[in-house]
Every structure is written in structure tokens, then in C-alpha cells.
Copies of this chain bind each other. A is one copy, B any other.
Amino acid sequence: MEIIEAIKSRRSVREFTAEDVSDGEIAQILEAGRWAPSGLNNQAWRFIIVRDKDTKKALSGFTHYGKTILDSAVGIVVFLDRESMYDYTKDVQSIGACIQNMLLAIHSMGLGAVWLGEILKNREKVNQLLGAPESCELMAVIAAGKPVEKPRSSSRKELAELTFREKFGNKW
């Protein structure tokens, strides 16, 4: 799938079929994630792959969007390893780049996913459940699987609302 097409046609997918996602597919997704850029190439992202039903059930209790986790084939739990950190803002940006790579890969593979952030309110509980040390700060859960086919629309602000030429205020 072409880059620009993939970027523009990707949608959050919250409804999944019962179909599984293979280890090979998960490795491809992670491969896209690990090739993200990071400051000083510090690669402070860490992943826990959750496929176990009981673990998914427990995770689902930590967010309003629990049904999505329950119905997904796999949860990719993304952490920032604070021991590899050099600058919080830049490292968090690189985690976002890593997540976006994975979302694009997922979409290009005919799979679907949603980026869950609301679960961060229960980051300590997630760490405890998964045995992750305090040095791993929960960044997101990506719930992925084979999407139920249905139309999904989204919208974005116009470029002119976001962009200036040379100086702030001088609209694009």
C-alpha cells in the first residue's frame, strides 16, 4: 500500500472478527515500530504482547474501552523505558512515531487497530498486571485484529487552520 494512501485511509478500528493474528504478523508490526526514529537513536520503546484471554480480560477492566481490548486478537502494550530516556518530551514524541509506524503497518496488512490512551489513568495497575517495573511508563495500548468491515469516516482541520508561512499569523 502506498504511503500517502495508507496515511489517509487509516481509521481507528474498534470492532474485530474472531480471527486470530499470527506471531509472524505481530513481528511484522513490531518491525515497523522498531524502525521509528528517536533522539540519539535511543529506542526507548518497549512492548508487551498480550494474547492471553485472562490477561486481556484483566486489562479491559482498566479502561472504558475494555470491550475493544476483549474483542481484539492482540494487545500491544507500549512503554517508555525511563532507564533509556534522555529527554521526556523528545522520547514521548518518538514513542508516538513508533506507534504510528505500527498503525500504518497494521493497516497495510489488512488488519485494523485502535490506539488506546484513556487506559493511562490506570498505568500503575497495568504495570502490576504485566509485571512491568516502575521504570517502564505506560504510553498506550494498541488493540489490533481483523477488522469487521464497515464504513469508517474521520475528518481533519484544513491546512490553512494549522499552517503559517514564514511567521505566525501569516496563513498558508
Contacts and interface: CB of A to CB of B under 8 A. Distances in A.
Interface of A: 1-4, 6-8, 10, 12, 27-28, 30-32, 34-37, 39, 41, 43, 45-52, 55, 87, 89-90, 92-101, 103-105, 107-108, 115, 117, 120, 130-133, 136, 139-140, 154-157, 159, 162-169, 172
A36 B7 CA distance: 7
B115 A162 contact: no
Report how many copies the assembly holds.
2
A63 B154 CA distance: 38
A3 B165 contact: no
A8 to B, nearest CB: 5
A39 B117 contact: yes
A120 B31 CA distance: 29
Nearest to A158: B34
A162 B37 CA distance: 15
